[in-house]
């Protein structure tokens, strides 16, 4: 049975909260572990077939601190040929030109390490001016804004989980 891990880095708790909400929204009988990236060793990562990685963005377009310190877990040895979905928390009003940049940074690393990324998400309905996580008219994963659009988050989570669930083989 496909083993799933949701791995997140979170400074004030928003991404941690969304990681739990994604675990609940995934409609699958597969076991799901929700793990903080700072607690994870590279060896542990190899135990999972399907990874969902979440980060917030800090500074001006920087990856969340725990991810920054633990990016070394993302290597060809740990994730090559695995299927990965990404999600991110950001603030499109105060940080309009670096909105969810952290997800773009994670994306570059997982692609370089040889993983396959699924779960792109339409950028319609967001008001940012620039994002490193943009891919044509989409984001490379689910973008959420608990600072300005919290009321839209659950619907977005449910829809995205429905989409990525199709790629999880029981």
Ligand X SMILES: Cc1cc2nc3c(=O)[nH]c(=O)nc-3n(C[C@H](O)[C@H](O)[C@H](O)COP(=O)(O)O)c2cc1C
Q: Which of residues 130-149 bind ligand X (CB under 6 A)?
A: 146-147
Q: Compute the least distance from the CB of residue 80 to ligand X, in Å.
A: 28
Residue 37 or 168 having the CB closest to ligand X: 37
100 touches ligand X (CB under 6 A): yes
Only segment of 70-78, 87-95, 134-142, 152-160 that touches ligand X (CB under 6 A): 87-95
Q: Which of 1, 3, 13, 20 binds ligand X (CB under 6 A)?
A: 13
Query: Quick one: DSSP state of residue 26?
Result: -
CA dist 48 → 8, 33, 63, 116, 167 (Å): 15, 9, 23, 14, 15
66 touches ligand X (CB under 6 A): no
Residue 13: CB partners within 8 Å, gap ≥ 6? Answer: none
Residue 66 or 83 having the CB closest to ligand X: 66
**Dihedral sign, CA of 16, 17, 20, 25?**
negative
Q: Compute the least distance from the CB of residue 141 to ligand X, in Å.
A: 13
Q: Compute the least distance from the CB of residue 53 to ligand X, in Å.
A: 13
Q: Which of 91, 113, 121, 141 binds ligand X (CB under 6 A)?
A: 91
Binding site for ligand X (CB under 6 A): 10-15, 56-61, 64, 89-91, 95, 98-101, 146-147
């Amino acid at each position: 049975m496909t083993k799933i891990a949701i791995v997140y880095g979170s400074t004030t708790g928003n991404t941690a909260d969304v990681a739990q909400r994604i675990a609940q929204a995934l409609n699958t009988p597969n076991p799901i572990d929700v793990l903080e990236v700072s607690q994870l060793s590279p060896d542990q990562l190899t135990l999972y077939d399907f990874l969902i990685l979440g980060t917030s963005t800090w500074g001006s377009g920087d990856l969340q601190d725990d991810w920054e310190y633990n990016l070394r877990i993302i290597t060809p040895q740990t994730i090559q040929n695995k299927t990965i979905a990404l999600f991110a928390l950001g603030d499109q009003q105060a940080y309009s030109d670096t909105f969810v940049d952290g997800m773009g940074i994670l994306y570059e690393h997982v692609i370089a390490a040889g993983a396959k990324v699924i779960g792109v998400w339409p950028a319609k309905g967001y008001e940012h001016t620039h994002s490193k996580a943009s891919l044509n008219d989409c984001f490379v994963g689910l973008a959420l804004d608990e600072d300005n659009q919290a009321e839209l988050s659950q619907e977005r989570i449910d829809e995205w989980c429905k989409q990525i669930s199709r790629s999880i083989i029981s």
